[in-house]
């Protein structure tokens, strides 16, 4: 009885593996060896693939396809010079074999010469009847070259050859996103869905494009269609939950996050989102319950510790907030945002030395926000070090030379430090930059609201502004 086509590949593999367990040597057709080798390569069993290549070439020394598979393994293992030598020999025998050009392209790609790889792949394209794989390789080379337009076109060709090639579909959308062409991605996906209306992957990607455009009702519709196409598609439920959150529909968002937990093992990310929804609904105990579940499920998820930190910080429970931000810092001590949060908590606790240290860490790690400079200076000033506070504001000025807030604060610190000359200079500069923000100066330094020279300076600035 004839074997079904899907049974055939297993037969030579089983026979080959049986041979390896004995001292017998079985004969295989060259095509059987190709099937065996491809099977092992696809499953990452390189050692078995190499054995099959060796025996295959012993039985079929003239097989160009087996020699090309040998070269493919050499390239994979970075034996590039030997691979090139074998390719030179093969090209003499068969100069029109596109696979020779493909393997040469792979070698150039490994050497980071992507332009040469593209040229060779285009030569292979001229020789090939089935160009699907070559377009995929071209797409990857263009990605290496940061040419997202040509990469997108290559992956589009792959999708046109096989509309079930979701890997290429993802790459097309990735290129659209990198080019910030969300409208183009929406048009492309809608066109694709006209032909494939039950493709949950495309609906999911379409929903994400609508999120970028803040078109939340449309995004919800896309995720609903993804779920209709596959009611076990966890990613669609999760993304739908995130959209419902953005729309303020927290109870519905919770339902979708809980659906992901029922379908598969609970994830820390789902617990975290549910916790945030409950917090926004004012369900503090439920929020805490899910936040603690988040860090229990994944103790290394620093966002979980940060969520607990923020929960207590917003409720002025700074001691607990400090405990949990330190947990986050233990996991990711290079995160400037965590150090900034740590600084704010220590400042609220009036632990100015610790707050000063935390702000310094945040800035050293790249947090140069205007508020960071302003609040760091306040901390140091409250720690009775006006000179260092002024140095911090001067540093901040390098990043924000047009900031009136920095100038007003510098004016106040100089005046409080009995440096009237520099205080007046800074105040005049601040008034020129933004007269409207004078209220910030009076709010922070109310002792100068009735100062005669300050009022005259303001009057002069108001006249100059007219």
Mean pLDDT of 202-206: 97
Q: Angle 101-103-106 (CA atoms, 0-180°, nearest 5)?
A: 110
Query: Using DSSP, how many helices (H) and how many strands (E) does the chain show?
Result: 27, 0
Q: Could you give the C-alpha distances from 401 to 218, 398, 404, 433, in angstroms and in order?
A: 43, 6, 9, 10
Among residues 102, 61, 62, 97, which one has the least CA distance to residue 83? 102
Q: Could you give the C-alpha distances from 76 to 46, 85, 103, 106, in angstroms and in order?
A: 10, 15, 10, 9
Average pLDDT score, the chain: 90
CB atoms within 10 A of CB 23: 5
Is pLDDT of 1 > 80?
Answer: no
pLDDT band at residue 335 using 50, 70 and 90 as cut-offs: very high
Sequence-separated (6 or more) residues with CB below 8 Å from residue 280: 250
Length of the chain: 466
451 φ, ψ (degrees, to nearest 5) = -70, 130
Q: Higher-confidence residue: 386 or 355?
A: 355
Judge contact between 134 and 125, C-beta under 8 A.
Answer: yes
Highest mean pLDDT: which range of 31-35, 225-229, 448-452:
225-229
Residues 333-342 as b or e (16 or more Cβ within 10 Å = b): eebbebbbbb
Among residues 412, 407, 421, which one has the least CA distance to residue 373? 407
Spatial separation of the C-alpha atoms in residues 72 and 79, rounded to whole Å: 10
Per-residue confidence (pLDDT) for residue 10, from 0 to 100: 63
Tokens 């529909």, located at residue: 249
What's the pLDDT tens digit per position in 87-105? 778 777 877 888 888 888 8
Concatenate the DSSP letters of all residues of 81-137 into one string. HHHHHHHHHHHHH-TT-HHHHHHHHHHHHHTT-HHHHHHHHHHHHHH-S--HHHHHH
Per-residue confidence (pLDDT) for residue 382, from 0 to 100: 92
pTM for the model: 0.76
Spatial separation of the C-alpha atoms in residues 223 and 242, rounded to whole Å: 11
Is pLDDT of 127 > 90?
Answer: no
pLDDT band at residue 448 using 50, 70 and 90 as cut-offs: confident
Mean pLDDT of 14-29: 80
Mean pLDDT of 22-45: 83
Q: Higher-confidence residue: 456 or 236?
A: 236
C-alpha count within 13 angstroms, C-beta hemisphere, residue 31: 3
Is pLDDT of 316 > 90?
Answer: yes
Among residues 321, 318, 381, 380, which one has the least CA distance to residue 348? 318
Spatial separation of the C-alpha atoms in residues 172 and 162, rounded to whole Å: 13
Spatial separation of the C-alpha atoms in residues 398 and 391, rounded to whole Å: 11
pLDDT band at residue 466 using 50, 70 and 90 as cut-offs: low
What's the pLDDT tens digit per position in 379-430? 999 998 989 999 999 999 999 999 999 999 999 999 888 888 998 899 899 9
Mean pLDDT of 186-191: 97
């Amino acid at each position: 009885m004839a074997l079904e086509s899907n049974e055939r590949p297993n037969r030579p593999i089983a026979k080959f593996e049986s041979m390896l367990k004995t001292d017998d040597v079985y004969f295989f057709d060259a095509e059987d060896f190709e099937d065996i080798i491809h099977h092992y390569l696809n499953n990452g069993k390189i050692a078995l693939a190499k054995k099959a290549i060796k025996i295959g070439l012993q039985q079929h020394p003239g097989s160009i396809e087996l020699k090309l598979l040998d070269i493919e393994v050499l390239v994979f293992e970075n034996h590039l010079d030997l691979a090139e030598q074998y390719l030179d020999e093969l090209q003499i025998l068969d100069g029109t074999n596109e696979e020779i050009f493909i393997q040469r392209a792979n070698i150039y790609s490994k050497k980071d010469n992507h332009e040469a790889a593209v040229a060779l792949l285009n030569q292979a394209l001229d020789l090939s009847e089935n160009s699907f794989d070559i377009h995929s390789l071209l797409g990857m080379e263009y990605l290496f070259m940061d040419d997202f337009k040509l990469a997108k076109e290559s992956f589009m060709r792959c999708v046109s050859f096989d509309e079930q090639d979701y890997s290429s579909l993802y790459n097309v959308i990735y290129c659209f996103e990198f080019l910030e062409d969300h409208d183009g991605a929406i048009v492309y996906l809608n066109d694709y869905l006209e032909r494939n209306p039950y493709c949950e992957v495309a609906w999911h990607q379409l929903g994400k494009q609508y999120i970028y455009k803040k078109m939340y009702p449309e995004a919800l519709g896309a995720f609903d269609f993804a779920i209709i196409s596959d009611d076990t598609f966890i990613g669609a439920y999760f993304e739908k939950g995130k959209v419902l959150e953005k729309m303020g529909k927290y109870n519905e968002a919770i339902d979708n996050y809980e659906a992901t937990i029922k379908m598969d093992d609970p994830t820390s990310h789902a617990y975290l989102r549910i916790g945030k929804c409950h917090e926004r609904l004012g369900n503090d105990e439920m929020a805490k319950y899910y936040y603690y579940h988040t860090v229990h499920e994944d103790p290394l998820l620093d966002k979980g510790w940060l969520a607990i930190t923020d929960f207590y910080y917003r409720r002025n429970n700074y001691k607990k907030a400090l405990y949990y931000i330190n947990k986050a810092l233990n996991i990711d001590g290079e995160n400037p945002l965590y150090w900034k949060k740590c600084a704010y908590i220590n400042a609220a606790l009036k632990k100015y030395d610790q707050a000063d240290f935390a702000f310094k860490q945040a800035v050293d790690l790249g947090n140069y926000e205007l508020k960071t400079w302003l609040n760091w200076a306040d901390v140091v000033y409250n720690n009775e070090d006006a000179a260092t506070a002024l140095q911090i504001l001067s540093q901040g000025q390098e990043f924000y030379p047009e900031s009136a807030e920095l100038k007003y604060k510098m004016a106040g610190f100089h005046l409080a430090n009995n440096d009237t000359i520099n205080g007046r200079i800074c105040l005049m500069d601040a008034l020129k930059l933004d007269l409207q923000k004078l209220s910030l100066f009076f709010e922070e330094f109310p002792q100068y609201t009735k100062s005669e020279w300050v009022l005259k300076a303001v009057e002069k600035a108001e006249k100059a502004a007219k």
